[in-house]
């Protein structure tokens, strides 16, 4: 996926020092996570990936604060993961240890503590709710073609890390010794609730964005929530759906980001209410965005529908009915912000200043075309992707689905991607023929015909239909979409500044003061080692 998206970088003119080097380092480091056997290999790959992606984020014109937040949260993630890995047996093979833990019913406390620390670090990297404030600005403020790589490729690092360390997450959070209600708390269930909360929150926050890149960034946050939720089901179908979601997300989110990158390149704005009517000027970009939106929202017949069917089936087999309902609600909200995206950018009235806009460059369109073909192929023949994923998961969980040709049969129903594709195509062709040949009364009118086409607003930022598109929902939802996590982290940053300012006063420049500080430090350390003075 990353190699294919590099085709879009050919649109850049002249030398761009360091860009491809950092993209290569980031992608290769992500690949090392899959091959890592020891804690050191895993951590080295994780940090190289983070460092390279930080330099890529920092290249954005307005990315100074976004890159700072990115590296600060990444450092927090790294320290947590490092502390967790340090609790594992020295030199242990992560895969063998994970398999042993997965089959074990008695996990030592230090292994459980390791799992909690590693999980917290991974959740930061996944942009889970409460730890997500770095993700939208990092994805949105990076350069447009880099944003596509960060969202569709790099975002899977957290999901890969979850699978690699899965043996740490499958046991109760508290042992029998504590008794009572605490015994009912389970790491996997906590991950599941965090995943579905992230999915809902990401969709809700994407709903109210005016900036198209922030819409897609929050959308990526919500899609990662689905993957965490599916992984947390700790079942055959749950893991298959998590991997299926990760792979199909690569394709449709890569399409959407590149389509949007082409639009921004041509119209020179990211605000949706400043666009409109571009379907006539950029028809292939419209088609790419339409296919990506259908796949993302889970509407038949594309891969997103199969991914959601697998996920809902896995959750209901697990007995997680409330989580299933919330995931369905999140999908409905996703359809709303995606409808706004395509309606505001490509439909409606073409702006006067965009009448000479041309289609995006061929180098940006080629990866979209390849992704489009892949989505249609996997939608019609889901066995091409689902069967290999089943084989990968079966060493951990026995298969719970059967195949009858192209038909996937589970305990709750079946899905035939081939049949769904043909049925949807037949319905579409029938309705289109009806509209054209039977009930086809088409009127071609001028753009400013106030009877049929409406007038062009004089001030689009206040009167355009796309501005504050879902404002009525914001009133109804009230404080549910208030940025509480951002307030918390901003407050933490202010507290850190005040603490640093207080500690800075110790740096007086006086050697005697420094000598006294060293003596006090040694006294404290010796006191701790000796068990007290």
Question: In whole angstroms, what is the distance from residue 458 CA to residue 209 CA?
Answer: 22
> Which one has a higher pLDDT value, 183 or 238?
238
Cis peptide before 73 (omega within 30 of 0): no
**pLDDT in the model for residue 181:** 43
**Beta strand spans in 2-107 (E):** none
CB-side neighbour CA atoms (13 Å) of 50: 25
Question: In whole angstroms, what is the distance from residue 334 CA to residue 297 CA?
Answer: 6
DSSP-derived secondary structure for 184-244: G-BHHHHHHHHHHHHHHHHHHHHHT-SBHHHHHHHHHHHHHHHHHHHHHT-SHHHHHHHHH
Packing angle of the helix pair 303-318, 236-267 (nearest 10 deg): 140
Q: Do the bridges between strand 402-404 and strand 414-416 make them parallel or antiparallel, or are there none, so unpaired?
A: unpaired
Q: Which of 8, 142, 124, 152 is nearest to 65 (CA)?
A: 142
Question: In whole angstroms, what is the distance from residue 258 CA to residue 263 CA?
Answer: 9
Q: Which class for 518: exposed (0-12), middle (13-18), buried (19 or more C-beta within 10 A)?
A: exposed
**pLDDT in the model for residue 350:** 84
Question: In whole angstroms, what is the distance from residue 143 CA to residue 58 CA?
Answer: 9
Those residues whose C-beta lies under 8 Å from the C-beta of residue 192, and which sit 6 or more positions away, are 228, 229, 232, 233, 320, 323
Q: What is the residue-averaged pLDDT of the chain? A: 85
**pLDDT in the model for residue 422:** 85
∠ CA(489), CA(491), CA(493), 5° rounding?
70
**What six digits make up the tokens of 152?**
């569709």
**What six digits make up the tokens of 299?**
């509407």
**pLDDT in the model for residue 176:** 47
Question: In whole angstroms, what is the distance from residue 127 CA to residue 202 CA?
Answer: 10
Whether the per-residue pLDDT at 462 is higher than 60: the answer is: no
Question: In whole angstroms, what is the distance from residue 336 CA to residue 470 CA?
Answer: 9
Which tens digits make up the pLDDT trace of 186-239? 778 888 999 999 999 999 999 889 999 999 999 999 999 999 999 999 889 999
Cα-based torsion angle of the residue sequence 64, 67, 68, 70 in order, rounded to the nearest 10 degrees: 160
**pLDDT in the model for residue 450:** 56
Which tens digits make up the pLDDT trace of 405-431? 778 888 888 888 888 888 888 988 888
* 407-409: strand order across its sheet: 402-404, 407-409, 414-416
**What six digits make up the tokens of 431?**
């309705």
Q: 10 Å Cβ neighbour count for 460?
A: 17
- Residue 89 has what DSSP assignment? P
SS (H, E, C) 107-127: CCHHHHHHHHHHHHHHHHHHC
**pLDDT in the model for residue 186:** 73
Query: H or E element: which one contains 387?
Result: helix 383-393
- Mean pLDDT lowest among 15-24, 195-204, 477-486: 477-486
């Amino acid at each position: 996926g990353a190699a294919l998206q590099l085709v879009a970088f050919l649109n850049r003119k002249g030398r761009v020092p360091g860009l491809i080097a950092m993209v290569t380092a980031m992608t290769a480091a992500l690949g090392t996570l899959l091959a890592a056997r020891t804690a050191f290999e895993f951590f080295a790959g994780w940090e190289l990936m983070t460092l390279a992606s930080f330099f890529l984020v920092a290249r954005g014109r307005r990315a100074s604060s976004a890159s700072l937040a990115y590296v600060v949260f990444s450092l927090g993630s790294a320290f947590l993961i490092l502390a967790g890995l340090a609790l594992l047996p020295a030199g242990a093979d992560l895969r063998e240890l994970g398999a042993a833990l997965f089959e074990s019913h008695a996990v030592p406390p230090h292994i459980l503590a390791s799992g909690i620390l590693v999980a917290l670090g991974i959740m930061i990297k996944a942009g889970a709710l409460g730890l997500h404030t770095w993700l939208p600005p990092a994805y949105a403020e990076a350069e447009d073609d880099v944003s596509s790589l960060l969202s569709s490729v790099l975002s899977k690092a957290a999901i890969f890390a979850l699978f690699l360390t899965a043996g740490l997450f499958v046991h109760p959070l508290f042992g029998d010794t504590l008794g009572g209600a605490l015994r009912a708390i389970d790491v996997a269930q906590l991950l599941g609730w965090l995943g579905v909360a992230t999915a809902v929150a990401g969709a809700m926050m994407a709903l109210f964005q005016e900036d198209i890149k922030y819409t897609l960034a929050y959308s990526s946050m919500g899609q990662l929530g689905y993957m965490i939720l599916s992984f947390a089901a700790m079942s055959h179908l749950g893991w298959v759906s998590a991997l299926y979601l990760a792979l199909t997300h690569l394709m449709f989110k890569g399409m959407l980001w590149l389509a949007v990158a082409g639009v921004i390149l041509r119209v020179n704005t990211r605000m949706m209410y400043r666009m409109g009517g571009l379907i006539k000027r950029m028809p292939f970009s419209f088609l790419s965005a339409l296919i990506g939106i259908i796949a993302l929202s889970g509407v038949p017949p594309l891969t997103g529908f199969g991914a959601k069917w697998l996920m809902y089936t896995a959750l209901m087999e697990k007995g997680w009915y409330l989580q299933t309902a919330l995931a369905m609600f999140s999908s409905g909200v996703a359809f709303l912000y995606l409808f706004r995206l395509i309606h505001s950018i490509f439909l409606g009235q073409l702006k006067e200043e965009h009448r000479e806009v041309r289609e995006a460059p061929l180098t940006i369109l080629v990866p979209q075309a390849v992704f489009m073909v892949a989505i249609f192929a996997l939608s019609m023949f889901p066995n091409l992707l689902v069967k290999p994923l089943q084989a990968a998961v079966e060493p951990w969980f026995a298969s719970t689905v059967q195949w009858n040709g192209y038909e996937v049969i589970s305990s709750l129903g079946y899905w035939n991607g081939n049949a769904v594709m043909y049925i949807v195509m037949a319905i579409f062709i029938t309705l289109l023929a009806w509209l054209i040949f039977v009930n086809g009364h088409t009127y071609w009118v001028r753009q400013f015909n106030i009877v049929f086409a409406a007038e062009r607003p004089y001030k689009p930022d206040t009167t355009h239909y796309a501005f504050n598109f879902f404002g009525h929902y914001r009133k109804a939802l009230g404080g549910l979409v208030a940025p509480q996590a951002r307030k918390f982290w901003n407050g933490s940053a202010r507290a850190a500044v005040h603490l640093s300012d207080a500690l800075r006063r110790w740096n007086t420049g006086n050697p005697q003061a420094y000598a006294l500080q060293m003596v006090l430090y040694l006294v404290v350390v010796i006191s701790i080692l000796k068990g007290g003075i």
